[in-house]
Amino acid sequence: MNNVISPFIHVREMNDSVILFHSLDVKTFSVPRDLWERLREANYAPSDSISQSAIDALIDRGVLVDKSFNRSRYLDSKKKSIQKRPQYKYLYLISETSCNFSCKYCVYDGEIKRSSAGGARRMSDEVAKKAVLQFDEVSNADRVQGRYIVYYGGEPLLNFPLIKTMCDFVESERLNFKTTIMTNGSLINEDMIETFDKYRVHLAFSIDGNQIHHDGMRVDNSLNPTFNKVVSNFKRISSLGIPVSVSCTLHANNYRELPYIIDYFHNELNVRNLGFNIVHGKHGKELYVEDVTQCIVKCFHKLIEYKMYEGRLMERVKSFANSSFFLRNCASYGRKYVVDPDGRVGPCHAFAGDSNCFDNNVDQSAQEILNSTTLAAWNYRSVLDVEECLSCPAIGLCGGGCAYNSFRESGTIFAKDSGICKYANTILEWLLQEARENIFKEVIGGDSR
């Protein structure tokens, strides 16, 4: 057998050991440096100084492969083992396209804004009810557990009467959906609180840190600061035990102060669930993504200490620790679909208003949604089909990034999203360092001569 190193092995030499990372199996192995040097000298074959068992261990783990290794066949089998058909868990309803805020980094300037140029669009009760009943059938077809209706905008609470009607409707129809509202948090009143409390509605507030961080970017349509109102609403809602989380956008003005932001969220707002968004698209800078990600990983231990769950980072840490390929960075890849105010159905809110992408509708049968070629194409969009991604060490951790970013960069969703490359590779290098320090790794070569 003529052994070579698998094309999916990435080598990191670190002092006295060598970390071997299998990018598709998401596995790390550690080999003593002297053994690694002897292996290289012996062309990865047994020799006077290399035992057959050490070679066998490396073959078993996919570190060494035969020269005739068939990469395409291997990729096909990998795809078959990890790609699943769509299973819709989330229904996003764009209940309202306008917003009472004018955040300086707002990325919500895609097709929906262009298509709303003649005025804001608001979803009717009729469209929402059709959407929910259709989604019930779609998700029931796969017996999906834990189903969510997510209200999105614009600012969805500008159309609160719809949300209230739909909460009552879901209850009266015994539909067993949880409700989430992605809100800027400024419009909440007592009537709303009563509904949120009654139906255990989860509110995801956008808060960018303390007053200085937040007000520097998140202003209302008259350019007034918004922090005091939003935080007071957050505290009131949270004190009633209504489920809350925070979505924090990291931008040029706040990311360097991330440790203080996390302290603030923990000490003042008692936040448990949060998500960091990195400003992307035309408003972001590629280099800056790497800097922001460095700041995020440096705060990992603080997040653990505070028992705060940051989904994007933790999902990747779990994948790395469990050696599972992180296939989907975004629920739009086979886990959610979106309904726009006119009842059109598509995979991602950023494409709402684009009739090529929103080519289904709420009047269709559940089976037609399940057979949708557009939704299926998004489900199977994968970095495993992008040639330049195959040599990337972080292919098993990136999740494909954002298809909307890919589209903006390359005119197709089936291309890489360069923002996620910096994010995923920065996280991988950090995880490999952590692995070196003792966790997640398997030592090979303990029995070598």
Among 289, 330, 357, 375, binds ligand SF4 (CB under 6 A): 330
Q: Is 39 in the site for ligand SF4 (CB under 6 A)?
A: no
- Tell me the HSE value of 336 on the side-chain side, using a 13 A CA sphere: 21
CB of 335 to ligand SF4, least distance (A): 10
Question: How many chain residues bind ligand SF4 (CB under 6 A)?
Answer: 21
Q: Is 348 in the site for ligand SF4 (CB under 6 A)?
A: yes
CB of 330 to ligand SF4, least distance (A): 3
> Which has the closest alpha carbon to 8: 95, 69, 97?
69
CB of 421 to ligand SF4, least distance (A): 3
Site string for ligand SF4, 139-168 (x = CB under 6 A): ------------------------------
> Which residue is it, tokens 């019930």?
136
> Which has the closest alpha carbon to 134: 349, 375, 381?
375
CB of 399 to ligand SF4, least distance (A): 8
Count helices and strands in the chain by DSSP H and E runs: 18, 16
Residue 215 amino acid letter: D
Q: Is 350 in the site for ligand SF4 (CB under 6 A)?
A: yes
Q: Is 389 in the site for ligand SF4 (CB under 6 A)?
A: yes
DSSP E strand stretches across 161-256: 177-183, 202-206, 244-250
Residues 408-427 that bind ligand SF4 (CB under 6 A): 416-417, 420-421, 424-425
> Which has the closest alpha carbon to 80: 308, 325, 315, 295?
325
Contact predicate 244/309, CB 8 Å: no
CB of 371 to ligand SF4, least distance (A): 21
Residue 293 to residue 264: CA distance in whole angstroms: 19
The β-bridge relationship of strands 17-22 and 244-250 is unpaired
Q: Is 395 in the site for ligand SF4 (CB under 6 A)?
A: yes
Among 31, 258, 274, 394, binds ligand SF4 (CB under 6 A): 394
Among 262, 392, 427, 444, binds ligand SF4 (CB under 6 A): 392
